Amino acid sequence: MSEYLETRADKFVFRAKKGLLYSRDEVWVAAEGGAVRVGVTDFVQRSGGDIVFADISPSGTTVTRGGLLGSYETVKMVRDILSPVNGVIRGVNPALESKPEFINHDPYGEGWVAVIEPSTRLEGLLSAEEYFEEMKGKVSEELRKIKGL
């Protein structure tokens, strides 16, 4: 059984990993003990194209829900990564400095962005199934951007 929920449009397959929570800002959240590991969704990394730079706020930074966690840059755009929780950054993926393409190749795995210690309870997040339904509605709109049209 696949660990992903998948939908296909044209030749592109869009995935949401089961068991994670998702913000409406396209950030996934995985609970890890008292902290959460976060990253960007497959849908959003795909629509931006190949990531050339990733700039993430350092460990120790206080973040607020909906506030800036970091950003990444492709040739098409600079996209903000918004924190899905209130808390303090406890770790940043060191690989993204030299290999930001991990976000493209493995957004739910090697492309993780940060570990945050939440200061309040998690709220306003979607289950994987809820997120997947919302994502499917956005896919056809994004296709033209992905194809560079």
Point out which residues bind another protein (CB under 8 A).
Answer: 8, 10-13, 49-50, 52-53, 75-76, 101, 104-105, 144, 147-149
Rounded to a whole number of angstroms, the minimum distance from the CB of residue 148 to another protein is 6
Rounded to a whole number of angstroms, the minimum distance from the CB of residue 10 to another protein is 5
Task: Specify the residue, 14 or 84, whose C-beta has the smaller distance to another protein.
Answer: 14
Rounded to a whole number of angstroms, the minimum distance from the CB of residue 134 to another protein is 22
* Position 75, amino acid: V
CB 70 within 8 A of CB 13: no
Task: Specify the residue, 24 or 105, whose C-beta has the smaller distance to another protein.
Answer: 105
Task: Specify the residue, 74 or 127, whose C-beta has the smaller distance to another protein.
Answer: 74
Rounded to a whole number of angstroms, the minimum distance from the CB of residue 105 to another protein is 7
Task: Specify the residue, 45 or 86, whose C-beta has the smaller distance to another protein.
Answer: 45
* Position 84, amino acid: P
Task: Specify the residue, 10 or 80, whose C-beta has the smaller distance to another protein.
Answer: 10
Strand-pairing partners, residue 115, are 37, 91
Residues in CB range of 96: below 8 A, 6 or more apart: 54, 56, 102, 103, 111, 113
**What are phi and psi for residue 120, nearest 5 degrees?**
-135, 170
Give the CA angle between residues 61, 26, 140 to the nearest 5°. Answer: 160
Instruction: Please give the DSSP secondary-structure letter assigned to residue 46.
Output: H
Rounded to a whole number of angstroms, the minimum distance from the CB of residue 72 to another protein is 13
